[in-house]
Structure 1
Amino acid sequence: MANPNSLCLILLLSSLALASAAVFFEEKFEDGWEKRWVKSDWKKDENMAGEWNYTAGKWNGNVDDKGIQTSEDYRFYAISAEYPEFSNKEKTLVFQFSVKHEQKLDCGGGYMKLMSGDVDQTKFGGDTPYSIMFGPDICGYSTKKVHAILTYNGTNHLIKKEVPCETDQLSHVYTFIIRPDATYSILIDNVEKQTGSLYSDWSLLPPKTIKDPEAKKPEDWDDKEYIDDPEDKKPEGYDDIPKEIPDTEATKPEDWDDEEDGEWTAPTIPNPEYKGPWNAKKIKNPNYKGKWKAPMIDNPDFKDDPEIYVFPNLKYVGIELWQVKSGTLFDNVLICDDPDYAKKLAEETWAKNKDAEKAAFDEAEKKREEEESSKDDPADSDKSQAEDDDAEDDDTEDDSDLKAEAAESDDDVKDEELHVCF
């Protein structure tokens, strides 16, 4: 049996570890969130700037757990928040948020950005430089992935690995972890989906080794894996076999006139004996040395950067995207240095509400399908038509009554007019 004191000590140490986590920014979009976020004027002069709704969405696990949601189709969206500037040098950087595509997104983004230095938040837009761009992106059948773009020496670098994103209409948590040893992890719903090194999975630095540009393939290098069998000889008379032969079963038509139609000759048919151009059989080349490759040498242009993972002056977090169909909802944004704290926040928000959200979504889908089914049901259509006909009959009767009343009213008006005239 476990020692109760040991269990208490473990829980205490765990709590202390979470308490010591440095949280640089945390936004649950509770009361007062609008004071922390600045809506950009980007695209406003073109009437293309979309409005944000403050909502828990059409289906949710907790009506009081609200986020911000895109609300207009074919619009650009840009909003950002500032936090005390910090560097992740010698720290783990954790960037996490939840996103839900209620509109069954077919083309649009659900990513967020971390920016450095000074940014005019009222002008924040697509051309604003950023340090990290992270999150899901969906467009048609070809693009359904997680973006993880790092800016290094002023150039944006896309991750080389494919990380599929979630494509349903429910909330999901996306987490990007960058460690001081230049390793990283990408998680979706607290499950690791990709991991590796900043050195190998982005082209931030020139490669450490390159093919020797001075190396040349030796003249005697044989890279033919198969050769003609020198023992295989072409059969005698092989080339004399015609490709086509006269059709022996063809007969001259009875109405054929040699004087008018010329001399009749039988049509040709493919020769079953013809086997095409002759080629010797192939055998393994006994002198095959494999495909020649230039040897690898140290790249003289490579210079290691032990701070390749560092973003020295992170200061803003923002959402900047274009949406053909609106309905993407962001919530629970976190920037910290502790993956365990991020995991705990995801458990207390997304994980706590996901089952209830799924149930609400299923109920909404069931209702939608029933409504669509009733529209397509001919019996219902006939019933609706009958009801419409009855309604029209009632309307006809009502119209007759109204016309009679109108006629009486007109007579009254005429009498009054005559009375006035005389």
Structure 2
Amino acid sequence: MKWIAPLLLVAFASATVFFQEEFNADWESRWVNSNWKSDGTQAKFRRSAGNWYVDAEKDQGLQTTEDYRFYGISSKFPAFTNQGKPLVVQYTVKMERNVDCGGGYIKILPDGFDQSTFGGETPYLVMFGPDICGSEKKTHLILSYKGKNFLNTKRFRCETDNLTHQYTAIIFPDNTYQFLIDNQEVSKGTLEEHWDILPKKEIKDPSAKKPDDWVDEPTLPDPEDKKPEGWDDIPELIPDPNASKPEDWEEKDGEWKAPMIPNPEYKGEWRPKMIPNPSYKGPWTAPTIPNPEYVAEPNLHALGTYGGVGIELWQVTSGIIFDNIIVTDSVEEAKAFSEKTFAHRLAGEPDAKKAYDEAEEAKRPKPQETEDEHDHDHEGREDL
């Protein structure tokens, strides 16, 4: 199929591609930088393939340019809903520098949002992608339902190396989801299971009480165990047998007594040994009952009317590159787009990075070369 423009609505059988972007040379005609920060803390993106790549042109993406800056940019597409059909969000991200704190996620925005003020306070329907800050390394898949954002309760891993990785989120019309990295499944399940969007189907019965005869002590004192005779006759402290009265001790000082020290024979307070309790029933928990506040939502997958893609970030470490974004209702279309835009990177980028690293290493002066140059300079100064 011939692609006329990245934002063209393309129908193929029952599949629709609502948005796709490869950031070719005219990308700025489709994207709008916001002005949500007016205090000089917001920076702009640039088109770049980074320091290493497989294809200098195909691997061009949108790169953050300055450290310690906010970023906000967006692109609109014709409004649609995913009522009764899948929603597939897929893109690639390369964290070319070692990120100590920065997001690599994108947002799917509702129809009618304001591109000029798009920023951290702009409502969104989906927020998806990796986020790294210190030891926190995870992938967000935040879903908005009735104006409230819900973070995935199951932790999703993310990639932390310097290579390009492809992130894919699929929400199916049966209210299940699938999350993939580099076309490999990372997680799947139901929206109810891994998001607290709806109240729980069952709750603990608030009226239930622990029975009076419930035994929750796992052990009890052995009734057959008896305290040994003479146990209580052993004192805790005894006079120090190695102590002696000082030579200068006088009768006016009173009767001399040796200082007390811990008795090595003292065993402490006697307690009977513990044995398993034959009446033990385990910890008591209230029985569950149907939650009267729970109402099934067959259309939980349909989050609203989608109208655009946005990238809104805070970057301590810049240099992250976004590329190859697709929003579609077809898993097959997303796979085909991946084969077109990402397969060559998955196969060739490790070698490209290795070659770059080796070239950079070759540029560094060798220790011997430095010493030779120093000796040469020293000899020159002697001649003077």
TM-score scaled by length of structure 1: 0.83
Task: Say yes or no: does 1:335 pair with 2:324.
Answer: no
Partner of 1:98: 92
Q: Are the structure 2 counterparts of residues 387 and 127 from structure 1 closer, same or farther at C-alpha, using a change threshold of 3 Å?
A: farther
Q: Report whether the alignment pairs 1:382 with 2:358.
A: no
Pairing 1:168-179 to 2, within 5 Å after superposition: 168-179=161-172
Structure showing greater Rg: 1
2:244 aligns with: 252
Distance 1:354 1:383 in 2: 43
Can you list the C-alpha shifts for 1:302-340, whole angstroms capped at 9, x where unaligned? 111111110331001010000001010000000011112
Distance, in Å, in 2 between the alignment partners of 1:123 and 1:388 is 59
Task: Specify which of 110, 121, 140 is matched with residue 127 of structure 1.
Answer: 121
Out of 191, 196, 208, the residue aligned to residue 201 of structure 2 is 208
| Equivalent residue for 1:219, pick from 194, 197, 212 | 212
Deviation at 1:390, TM superposition (A): 5.0
What's the counterpart of residue 405 of structure 1? none
| 1:118 match | 112
Partner of 1:348: 340
Query: Residue 32 of structure 1 aligns with which residue?
Result: 26
The alpha-carbon distance between structure 1 residues 19 and 359, as it changes in their structure 2 partners (threshold 3 A), is farther
Instruction: Pick from 38, 41, 64 the counterpart of residue 35 of structure 2.
Output: 41
Distance in 1, matches of 2:238 and 2:358, equals 70
- The aligned counterpart of 1:407 is none
Work out the number of aligned pairs and report it: 372
Q: Structure 2: which amino acid aligns with 1:284?
A: P
Q: Distance in 2 between matches of 1:183 and 1:201?
A: 10
1:149 maps onto 2:138 in alignment = no
* Aligned-partner Cα distance in 2 for 1:373–1:304: 67
Hey, what's the Cα distance between the residues in 2 that align with 1:223 and 1:337? Answer: 54
More helix by share: 1
RMSD after superposition = 2.2
Q: Report the TM-score, using the length of structure 2 for normalisation.
A: 0.91
Quote the offset at 1:288 in angstroms.
1.4
The separation in 2 between residues aligned to 1:368 and 1:234, in whole angstroms, is 78
Could you tell me which runs of 5 or more consecutive residues in structure 1 were left unpaired when the two chains were aligned. Answer: 1-16, 398-422
Q: Which runs of 5+ in 2 are unaligned?
A: 1-10
| Alpha-carbon distance, 1:355 to partner | 3.2
Q: Aligned residue for 1:416?
A: none
Q: CA deviation at 1:20?
A: 4.5
Change in Cα spacing, 1:312 to 1:156, as seen in structure 2 (3 Å) is closer
Mapped to 1, the partners of 2:133 and 2:159 lie a distance apart of: 13
Question: In structure 2, what is the Cα distance between the partners aligned to 1:251 and 1:87?
Answer: 92
Could you tell me the percent identity over the aligned residues?
A: 49
Cα distance, 1:106 vs structure 2: 1.1
Mapping of residues 51-200 of structure 1, within 5 Å: 51-65=44-58, 66-141=60-135, 143-200=136-193
* Aligned residues of 1:177 and 1:184 also touching (Cα < 8 A): yes
Q: Does the 8 Å contact 2:18/2:78 carry over to 1?
A: yes
Q: Distance in 2 between matches of 1:18 and 1:289?
A: 62
SS of the equivalent of 2:217 reads coil
**Residues 8-42 of structure 1: CA deviation (Å, up to 9, x unaligned):** xxxxxxxxx97642101010111321111111112
Secondary structure of the equivalent of 1:121? coil
In structure 1, how many angstroms separate the alpha carbons of the residues matched to 2:342 and 2:44? 25
Looking at structure 2, the residues matched to 106 and 37 of structure 1 have their Cα atoms a distance apart, in angstroms, of: 28
Shift of 1:91: 0.6
**Alpha-carbon distance between aligned partners in 1 of 2:49 and 2:236, rounded to the nearest angstrom:** 77
Pick one of 237, 251, 262 that aligns with 2:230. Answer: 237
